[in-house]
Amino acid sequence: MSARTLVPVAVTGLVLAAMSHPAVATRIASALGDAPRRALDVDRLLALAMQHIALAGTGFALVAILGLGLGILATRRTGARLRPAIDALAAGAQAVPPVVTVALALPILGFGGPPTLLALVGYGVMPTLRGTAGALEAVSPEARAAAEAMGMTRLQILIGVELPLAAPEIVEGLRTALVLAVATAAVGALAGASTFGTPIVAGLQNQNTVPMLQGAAATAALAFLGDAALLGLAAALRINRP
Amino acid sequence: MPAITAVAGVAALAAALVWTPLLVIAANRLVPGVPVTGWATLGPALVAILACAAFACALFAGSPGRRAGAVALFLILAAAGLFAWGLGHGAAVRMEGRPPAARAGLGAGVWLAALWFATALGLATRRIRLAGLGAGVAGLLVLALVLAGRAGAFDALSLAVEYAARRETVQAALWEHLALAGGGLGLAIPAVAVLSLWRRGQDLVGIVIGGVQVVPAVALLGALVAFTGGLLRAVPALRDLGVSALGPAPAIVGIAAYLLLPLWRGLAAALRAPDSASLDAAKALGLTRAQILLRLRLPLGAPQLVGALRVATVQALGLATLGALIGAGGLGRIVFDGMAQFAPDLILLGAIPIVAVSLMAERGLSALEGSLRARRPA
pLDDT at B47 over 50: yes
pLDDT at A69 over 70: yes
B281 min Cα distance to partner chain A (Å):
32
Q: Which residues contact B45 (CB under 8 A, 6 or more apart)?
A: B82, B83, B85, B86
CB contact under 8 A, A103 and B211: no
pLDDT in tens, B245-260: 788 888 999 999 999 9
Per-window interface: A 182-211 vs B, CB < 8 A: 182-183, 186-187, 189-191, 196-197, 200-201, 203-204, 209
Note whether B344 contacts A: Cβ–Cβ < 8 A: yes
- Residue B75's pLDDT is what? 92
- CA dist., res. A179 & res. A60, Å (int): 9
CB contact under 8 A, A99 and B358: no
Short-list B305, B300, B309, B330, CA closest to B318? B330
Q: Residue A57: which pLDDT band, with cuts at 50, 70 and 90?
A: very high
Note whether A35 contacts B: Cβ–Cβ < 8 A: no
- Residue B289's pLDDT is what? 82
- Residue B171's pLDDT is what? 92
- Residue B84's pLDDT is what? 92
Residues of A in contact with B225 (CB under 8 A): 204, 212
Neighbours of B145 (CB within 10 A): 15
- CA dist., res. B332 & res. B176, Å (int): 10
Spans of all domains in chain B: 3-158, 167-375
Q: Which residues contact A50 (CB under 8 A, 6 or more apart)?
A: none
Average pLDDT over residues A140-157: 88
Note whether A88 contacts B: Cβ–Cβ < 8 A: yes
Note whether A60 contacts B: Cβ–Cβ < 8 A: no
| Minimal-distance CA residue of chain A relative to B335 | A103
- Residue B259's pLDDT is what? 92
Average pLDDT over residues B285-300: 83
pLDDT above 70 covers what percent of chain B? 99
Q: Is residue B88 a contact partner of residue B157, using CB atoms and an 8 Å limit?
A: yes
Query: Residue B35: phi, psi to the nearest 5?
Result: -75, 145
Note whether B323 contacts A: Cβ–Cβ < 8 A: no
Short-list B148, B144, B177, B172, CA closest to B160? B148
Q: Which CATH architecture does the domain made up of B167-375 adopt?
A: Orthogonal Bundle (1.10)
Per-window interface: B 196-225 vs A, CB < 8 A: 207, 211, 213-220, 222-223, 225
- CA dist., res. B91 & res. B50, Å (int): 20
Q: Residue B49: which pLDDT band, with cuts at 50, 70 and 90?
A: very high
- Residue B62's pLDDT is what? 83
- CA dist., res. B150 & res. B148, Å (int): 5
| Amino acid at residue number A174 | L
- CA dist., res. B74 & res. A200, Å (int): 51
- CA dist., res. A13 & res. B266, Å (int): 28
What are the CA-CA distances from residue B40 to residues A157, B82, B90, B94, B199 (Å)?
55, 15, 8, 10, 68
- Residue B377's pLDDT is what? 54
Rg (CA), chain A: 21
- Distance, first Cα to last Cα, chain B: 35
Per-window interface: B 56-75 vs A, CB < 8 A: none
CB contact under 8 A, A33 and B347: no
- Residue B202's pLDDT is what? 83
Q: Residue A240: which pLDDT band, with cuts at 50, 70 and 90?
A: low
> At what angle are helices B45-62 and B108-128 packed, to 10 degrees?
30
Short-list B256, B214, B261, B217, CA closest to A5? B214
Query: Residue B157: phi, psi to the nearest 5?
Result: -75, 145
Nearest beta carbon to residue A220 from set B215, B234, B332: B215
Residues of B in contact with A100 (CB under 8 A): 318, 321, 335, 351, 354-355
Q: Residue B378: which pLDDT band, with cuts at 50, 70 and 90?
A: very low
Residues of A in contact with B322 (CB under 8 A): 99, 187
ipTM (interface pTM):
0.82
- Residue B125's pLDDT is what? 86
Query: Residue A218: phi, psi to the nearest 5?
Result: -70, -40
pLDDT in tens, B156-203: 888 888 888 888 999 999 999 999 999 999 999 999 989 888 888 888
Mutate to test the interface with A, among B117, B214, B238 (most CBs of A within 10 A): B214
Q: Residue B101: which pLDDT band, with cuts at 50, 70 and 90?
A: confident
pLDDT in tens, B298-343: 888 888 888 899 889 998 999 999 888 888 888 999 998 888 887 8
* Torsion from C-alpha of B328, B334, B337, B341, nearest 10 degrees: 180
B325 min Cα distance to partner chain A (Å):
8
Which helix (DSSP H) or strand (DSSP E) does residue B15 occupy? helix B3-18
Short-list B17, B93, B2, B3, CA closest to B49? B17
Average pLDDT over residues B55-76: 87
Note whether A107 contacts B: Cβ–Cβ < 8 A: yes
pLDDT in tens, A71-112: 888 888 777 777 777 777 777 777 788 888 888 887 777 777
